[in-house]
Structure 1
């Protein structure tokens, strides 16, 4: 029942950031820095980073509190369905935090094309990370997880 991942999520984030940096470097023509006030953009970047860190911290805290694994490559070692705290609002707050960090980086780069990488991240993590995790958790926890899955949205 062990699930093998192709690329762990944090590496997916690093790959996405590298792609975003390459887009900014080689396709700078879609830069929107002339449209949005730099001060407003800086505030947006800062807020996104703070929210990402807060959500990530709350997610890890909830898993630790329930004494279950935070390791995404070993969902079969989960000891219970965590459905309280931040998990009452999102089934995947750690991935949400990663996405918010990528959005912050896209805003920092001020290039519209970099936001496409955020969409690619959502697609990839949904297909190759979240869906296999959900299959594993359904096998492990049956109706408990099915009820949780039906009552809490995947992202927000």
Structure 2
């Protein structure tokens, strides 16, 4: 694939990040260890964490839609987003996926979900985040370099 075609086609992300996190959750709910927490507190706290994760994700998705961006990471990015949650994290959607998965793990009393959520983040880091960063650096040059120097990758 030529450099021009690469720039026109977006980042070379081959694995949809939401599927990676969904697989982690689906696998983890059937695995030990149980956390052994009482039902009411874990449902309450887990629910709050899941809601917080969805709030972050919905806000990040809203900013993408507002600017006409495609949510699929392999599609071209017409512009960088510097406002909203993107002032604090370059990847708030992926942060939200980790938070949601951890909240589900807590609510379901499954530590494996939380561990697999972290493993999913490692997979997403190498299969999505790094290719996205290479693409954005190529596409936006110094503007993206300055953004990277100001804003953390995750938190």
> Could you say which TM-score interval applies, normalised by the shorter chain?
0.7 to 0.9
Alignment partners' CA distance in 1, 2:62 and 2:111: 34
* SS of structure 1 residue aligned to 2:51: helix
Cα contact 1:88–1:152 (8 A) shared by 2: yes
Segment of structure 1 superposing worse, 130-139 or 59-68: 59-68
- Structure 2 regions of 5+ residues with no counterpart? 1-5
RMSD over aligned CA atoms reads 1.5
* Contact 2:35/2:109 (8 A) holds in 1: yes
Q: What are the equivalent positions in structure 2 for 1:109-124 lying under 5 Å apart? A: 109-124=108-123
Question: How far did 1:119 drift?
Answer: 1.5
Quote how far apart the aligned CAs of 1:6 are: 2.9
Question: Aligned pair 1:83/2:86, yes or no?
Answer: no
The equivalent residue for 1:143 is: 142
Whole-angstrom distance in 1 between the partners of 2:68 and 2:124: 24
Kindly indicate whether the alpha-carbon contact (under 8 Å) linking 2:12 and 2:132 is maintained by their aligned counterparts in 1: no
Map of 1:93 onto structure 2: 92
Q: Which residue of structure 1 lines up, in the alignment, with residue 16 of structure 2?
A: 8
Structure 1: runs of 5+ lacking an equivalent: none
TM-score, normalised by the number of residues in structure 1? 0.86
Distance across 1 between alignment mates of 2:82 and 2:28? 34
Q: Structure 1, residues 71-92: CA drift from partner, whole Å, max 9, x if none?
A: 2122xx1111101011111111
State the shift of 1:18 in Å: 2.0
